[in-house]
Copies of this chain bind each other. A is one copy, B any other.
């Protein structure tokens, strides 16, 4: 199955600016991208990087600098279903979780992200289109129903965690198994319990 992996090749992960330099953010985003691509491949499917700018990578890549939803919808319109869209910042993605996504029944399968996003989806209909603005998970469920399709909701913690802000790094440190977690640990990030709440800290920073 074709699996689109949208990727911000320019200034990714701006909400991690309190912890990481721009170069570090690009490095972490790149590490997460490669992690996701290799998990997709290991699950037996064909990733395609959908990048905002040129990317040097040993995977098929298409550059489209239009807004995310426009760029994804252009590919959904061209592709023979089924086609999946998996975000590049799913640092906890596992082959098992992705296999559950790809194997889930239904013409539209949605994996919610924390905070209302849609971290992964699978469409078996040529008519489905995305709109990632705002709380997209509700909009995508509505869009499926407007096509007469009851969406399948995939219940996955590993696909729900996308690394947007510092608090998401708590999950990466605690649950990450691969390269993105190693990157975060090598950056000196650790989890400290502050007032009963696990919090990420980096040497030289106030917790």
Contact = CB atoms under 8 A, between A and B. Distances in A.
Interface string A144-168: 0000000001011111100000010
A116 interface: yes
Given A157-B155, A160-B157, A174 B94 contact: no
Contact of A157 (B138, B156, B191, B193): B156
Contacts of A196: 134
A114 B114 contact: yes
Interface in A36-57: none
A: contact size bracket = 20 to 34
Contact of A174 (B96, B138, B155): B138
A10 interface: no
A62 interface: no
Interface of A: 94, 96-97, 100, 112, 114-116, 134-135, 137-138, 153, 155-160, 167, 170-171, 174-175, 191, 193, 196-198
Report the 7 A-B pairs with minimum CB-CB distance, sorted nearest first: A157-B160, A116-B198, A134-B193, A135-B198, A157-B157, A155-B158, A155-B156
